[in-house]
């Protein structure tokens, strides 16, 4: 098969997301754009064991219209119903080469509880703090995003941000790499979990002090992405 290395990476991303509790069962999928017309995306088959057990062979080459990207790519496989999430996100921003659509319960619960994701902590997770500071928009329809119109609606709600919460549904995280897309989702989940814990303890949510931002530096991709991803792979055991 062509794109063997990229298929393996997308499969790893699926397993990492599942190990972090961001998906359960067969729901959720990741993708990686490979050229102007095609992407690799996690597909389903009659031997599918769930996202936590994604194999490189479950990652299939698909055209943006949902047809096979090469001969045999859809033999025994079906594209996800929500392929428009991936296609419309990629078309809206050429920098978004990787897309993760996941169902993290804490993020869904926090949004349904009326909690806006905010930068309530700093050095606890610097990338997460900056992600929250830029704002995490919400797509307010709890629908299956299975056509172009709904995909475009979600992207409009995204407002150019790298992540969006789909109310009563899950999230979409987009980045230049699979690693970054999944790590953003992990950070968003951590923010939601902390907010829920603070509220459950009877506390109020407050943004960190404005003066703290200049001392929350970008530690560089070697630490925030490369080292973080090595840890996620190690957690898979």
pLDDT tens by residue, 5-35: 999 999 999 999 999 999 999 999 999 999 9
Q: Has residue 1 got a pLDDT over 80?
A: no
Please state the pTM of the whole predicted model: 0.96
Token pair of 200 as six digits? 């459950």
The total domain count for the chain is 1
pLDDT at 219: 87
Q: pLDDT > 90: what percent of the chain?
A: 96
The pLDDT score that the predictor gives to residue 192 is 98
Asked if 60 contacts 11 with a C-beta cutoff of 8 angstroms, the reply is: no
Judge whether 82 counts as a catalytic residue: yes
Residue 172's beta-bridge partner residues?
101, 164
- Of the residues 82, 88, 153, 232, which is catalytic? 82
Residue 208's CATH number = 3.40.225.10
Tens of pLDDT, residues 180-192: 999 999 999 999 9
Number of C-beta neighbours around residue 159 at 10 A = 9
Range of the domain at 27: 4-235
DSSP the chain: -TTHHHHHHHHHHHHHHHHTTS--TT--EEEEE-SSSEEEEE-EETT---GGG--GGGEEEEETTSSBSSTTTTTTEE--TTHHHHHHHHHH-TT--EEEEE--HHHHHHHHTTPPP----STTSHHHHHHHHT---EE---S---SHHHHHHHHHHHTT-SEEEETTTEEEEEESSHHHHHHHHHHHHHHHHHHHHHHHTT----PPPGGGGGGS----HIIIIIIHHHHHHHHT-
């Amino acid at each position: 098969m062509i794109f063997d290395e990229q298929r393996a990476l997308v499969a790893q991303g699926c397993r990492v997301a599942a190990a972090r509790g961001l998906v359960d069962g067969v729901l959720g999928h990741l993708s990686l754009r490979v050229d102007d017309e095609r992407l690799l995306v996690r597909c389903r088959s009659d031997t599918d064991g769930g996202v936590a057990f994604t194999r490189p062979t479950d990652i299939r080459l698909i055209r943006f219209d949902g047809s096979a990207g090469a001969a045999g790519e859809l033999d025994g496989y079906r594209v996800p119903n929500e392929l428009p999430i991936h296609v419309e996100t990629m078309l809206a921003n050429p920098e978004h080469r990787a897309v993760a659509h996941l169902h993290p319960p804490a993020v869904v619960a926090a949004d349904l509880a009326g909690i806006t994701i905010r930068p309530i902590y700093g050095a606890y997770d610097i990338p997460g703090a900056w992600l929250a500071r830029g704002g995490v928009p919400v797509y307010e329809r709890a629908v299956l995003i299975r056509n172009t119109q709904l995909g475009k609606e979600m992207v409009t709600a995204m407002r150019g941000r790298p992540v969006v919460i789909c109310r009563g549904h899950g999230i979409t995280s987009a980045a230049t790499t699979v690693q970054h897309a999944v790590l953003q989702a992990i950070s968003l989940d951590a923010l939601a979990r902390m907010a829920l814990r603070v509220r459950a303890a009877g506390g109020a949510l407050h943004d960190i002090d404005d003066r703290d931002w200049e001392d929350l530096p970008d530690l560089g991709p070697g630490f925030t992405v490369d080292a973080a991803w090595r840890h996620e792979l190690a957690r898979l055991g």
